[in-house]
Structure 1
Amino acid sequence: MKVTYLLLASFLYGCSENQASQPAQPAPLQALPVVQIRAGSATTYQDYPASIEGTVNVEIRPQVSGTLDRVFVDEGALVRVGEPLFKINDAPYRERLNTARASLHAAQGALANAQLEVTKLTPLVQNKVIADFQLKAAQAARQIASASIEQAQAEVAAAQINLGYTLIKAPVGGYLGRLPKKPGSLVTPTDAVALTNLSDVHEVHVYFALGETDFIRFKAQYAGNTLAEKIKQLPAVELVLPDGSTYARPGRIDLLDGQFDKNTGTITVRASFRNPDGLLRSGNTGKVRLGLAFANAVAVPQIATLEMQDKVFVFLVGDSNKVSKQPIVIAGKSGPNYLVQNGLKAGNRIVYSGFDHLHEGEVIQPTKPAATPDNPLVKN
């Protein structure tokens, strides 16, 4: 029995000695997909909140006071320029016109009488029957009568104008707003609420704001010595409606404000869109989608980035396949990719996916991605 135990102990000791003498096997390298970055042309799109207004927005207000007799239109109706909208009771204004005409006729009679007096006195003065003082007085009376006619004619014209104001017509073609005043209401030019609003929306103006950085980029990107010349080079813009759909007709940027808003640090930009079907109305909101072209952009798939504490990183693969976490600065988005402003250059290799448990300085085994992003700036 003692011999048997000795033999068994010798066997176990020999096995443990052989295992200790064998070198430890290195851990297998992590196989991860890697893509190489290259530069090329790309366009990034930025959405800016916007407000929509018709080319003409008019408050319809009475220019004379009176009782509203008739309303010829309905709320939301499409009206033509010159179409009657409201009728104010015109009886008082007709009587004022009649009074002004009567005053004119009286002034005309006074002038005729003064002229007769001058005609009568002229030969008497010439024959020295009477002194010229009486003739001069008659001529002065004639001049006063002539001025009275001019005054009466002005009063007639003013009465005609006020009478015309009792019929309120559309100054432009467009769509009407609400009609808060009903027939029988007393209306005056100083009313706090207008009779209605009228918007000409055959074309609409869409206003949005550009920040200083975007504005500087805009000026540097397009050819031209002046802003007017640069505006002519701008591509068409899109209007994104509140439901996420895109308005069918493209628009053009045609105006930039003369100065920045010192409170917001933005400048107002206007884009115009044709609206023949009246689908857009004043007061609508949306977003203007503005494209900015980059001639030599470096694109990175968004899936290959990692966001931490408001910063964006990629895992850069070195010559020895050692990875390092590299911060990048994003200039914008183009499809499924970020456009990189700083941090990467063409030819760099980055880990495409599977880096959840990857550590700084770790060596990997690069592989080809199973699916390449549909972007010409990225290749394996």
Structure 2
Amino acid sequence: MKKLAWGHSARVGASVLLIAGLGAGLQGCSPSNSQPAAATPPPPEVGVVTAAAGRADLTTELPGRLEAFRVAQVRARAAGILQKRVFTEGADVKAGQPLFEIDAAPYRAALASAQAQLARAEANLMQAQALADRYAPLAKTQAVSPQEALAAQAAAKQAAADVQAGKAAVQTAQINLGYATVTAPIAGRIGRALVTEGALVGQGEATPLAVVQQVDKLYVNFTQPAAEVMRLRKALAAGQIQRAAGKEAAAVQVVLEDGSVFAQPGKLLFSDLSVDPATGQITLRAELPNPQRQLLPGLYVRVRLAQAEVADGIWLPQQAVARTPQGDTVLVVADDGGVSARPVKLGPPATGRALVLSGLKPGEKVIVDGLQKTRAGGKARPVPWTPPGAASGASGASGAAPAASAASAASAASAVIKG
């Protein structure tokens, strides 16, 4: 009986110890000793611009070169020894101003000989005409034979023809004598003399003596890719854009090599009717005033050409637009921070900017910087985007997103939108 009582007591003690151990184990697993759960990260910060609709000029910047408005080569049309140069090299000359003098003695002698031949012909005409006038009434009374009267009239007409030939010879001699003084064919600026005094010129060919260029007005020759022209015409035909001031081009501005814009605007004269098969370019020409002669022919420039305008277009930085197989797309941030992809239709390209014709509404926030941090369907915290050039002047600005290059941002946008 004692053995049974001891066994029962042992089992009761073991149960108490087991319950105590379980209690200690449960106490060790209490929430006060567990690790905290991971916190949700905040949405990334992205730089955005607010879409604003307004009138936009479609301006294209193209490479071009300047060309003189008129170019005339001064040539020797009379053969002889060049005796004198009567102009200052590099100066402005007027049309008809003497430039060179060629030995004119042979031409003066030729003129005197022609004048003498003319005087002889006039004397012969006087005598022949007097004889014909005398024979005319006598032929009516048969005092002279009709044959003699007819011969007198023919001799008078032949003498008159000799006079006309003599006058032409005198005129030719005067022209050749005038060629001995070489004059400026046009008004403009003359370059250096191509020959010196004492040179034999005009012997067998018209010798070049100098070049005169009119530079108070200049031509600007430039080219535009045919693909851009076709896109522009297609948008015009669809009514998405209007012609600038109803013309092919409202204004032409010339940008010099240092980046400055020439003060005088130009006007477009024409665009070529054919495409260069070697380059796929269309040639255009504009006229540019140059009253101070600041610009010189042959100078390389950039031409800004305003070809059309949009009444309610939206300009975006180029890096905000991603090109995908489905088309051009931008990322838009809603008021709740949600990011969505928005397909857009772009107008003709411009330098550093993209013109959105449709797909965006005014007031929507478009991501420009930080495209690599988010994607469509995610979340983002928008902050105003500052262009890199403007951001460099503001020091110590807190919360500004780092500026990414246009190429890297565009590629990141493409990758994000593709998902």
Task: With the length of structure 1 as denominator, give the TM-score of the two structures.
Answer: 0.77
- Quote the Cα distance in structure 2 between the aligned partners of 1:371 and 1:241: 28
Instruction: Name the SS for the 2:254 alignment partner.
Output: strand
Distance 1:370 1:152, change over 3 A: closer
Q: What is the identity percentage for the equivalent residue pairs of Structure 1 and Structure 2?
A: 32
- Quote the Cα distance in structure 1 between the aligned partners of 2:270 and 2:103: 46
Q: Tell me the residue number matched to 2:296.
A: 281
Q: Tell me the residue number matched to 1:248.
A: 263
Distance 1:17 1:71, change over 3 A: same
Alignment map for 1:32-181 (pairs within 5 Å): 32-33=45-46, 34-119=48-133, 121-122=135-136, 124-181=138-195
Distance 1:364 1:93, change over 3 A: same
Q: Tell me the residue number matched to 2:14.
A: none
Q: Tell me the residue number matched to 1:293.
A: 309
Distance 1:138 1:349, change over 3 A: same
Instruction: Name the SS for the 2:264 alignment partner.
Output: coil
Instruction: Name the SS for the 1:199 alignment partner.
Output: strand
Aligned AA (1:158): T
Q: Note if contact 2:74-2:212 (Cα within 8 Å) is conserved in structure 1.
A: yes
Q: Deviations over 1:12-59 (max 9, x none)?
A: 897579699989546324232355434222335321222223332222
Q: Tell me the residue number matched to 2:371.
A: 355
| 2:51 matches 1:30 | no
Q: Tell me the residue number matched to 2:243.
A: 222
My pick for the range that moved more, 285-294 or 165-174, is 285-294
Distance 1:347 1:134, change over 3 A: same
Distance 1:12 1:290, change over 3 A: farther
My pick for the range that moved more, 334-343 or 170-179, is 334-343
Aligned AA (2:152): A
Q: Note if contact 2:76-2:207 (Cα within 8 Å) is conserved in structure 1.
A: no
Instruction: Name the SS for the 2:273 alignment partner.
Output: coil
Gaps of 5+ in 2: 1-19, 391-419
My pick for the range that moved more, 321-330 or 95-104, is 321-330
- Quote the Cα distance in structure 2 between the aligned partners of 1:192 and 1:343: 67
Structure 1 residue 201 displacement after superposition: 1.9
Task: With the length of structure 2 as denominator, give the TM-score of the two structures.
Answer: 0.71
Q: Note if contact 2:49-2:385 (Cα within 8 Å) is conserved in structure 1.
A: no
- Quote the Cα distance in structure 2 between the aligned partners of 1:66 and 1:215: 59
Structure 1 residue 222 displacement after superposition: 2.5
Q: Tell me the residue number matched to 2:397.
A: none
Structure 1 residue 280 displacement after superposition: 1.8
My pick for the range that moved more, 276-285 or 81-90, is 276-285
Instruction: Name the SS for the 1:277 alignment partner.
Output: coil
- Quote the Cα distance in structure 2 between the aligned partners of 1:259 and 1:335: 26
Q: Note if contact 2:59-2:350 (Cα within 8 Å) is conserved in structure 1.
A: yes
Aligned AA (1:150): Q
Instruction: Name the SS for the 2:247 alignment partner.
Output: helix
Instruction: Name the SS for the 1:250 alignment partner.
Output: coil
Q: Note if contact 1:238-1:251 (Cα within 8 Å) is conserved in structure 2.
A: yes
Q: Note if contact 2:139-2:149 (Cα within 8 Å) is conserved in structure 1.
A: yes
Structure 1 residue 66 displacement after superposition: 2.5
Q: Deviations over 1:141-178 (max 9, x none)?
A: 11111111111111111111111111121232210123
Q: Note if contact 1:42-1:334 (Cα within 8 Å) is conserved in structure 2.
A: no
Report the RMSD for the aligned CA atoms in angstroms.
4.0
If each structure's helix is expressed as a fraction of its own residues, which one has the higher value? 2
Instruction: Name the SS for the 1:50 alignment partner.
Output: strand
Q: In the comparison of the two structures, how many residue pairs are matched?
A: 361
Gaps of 5+ in 1: 1-6, 375-380
- Quote the Cα distance in structure 1 between the aligned partners of 2:383 and 2:203: 77
Distance 1:152 1:266, change over 3 A: same
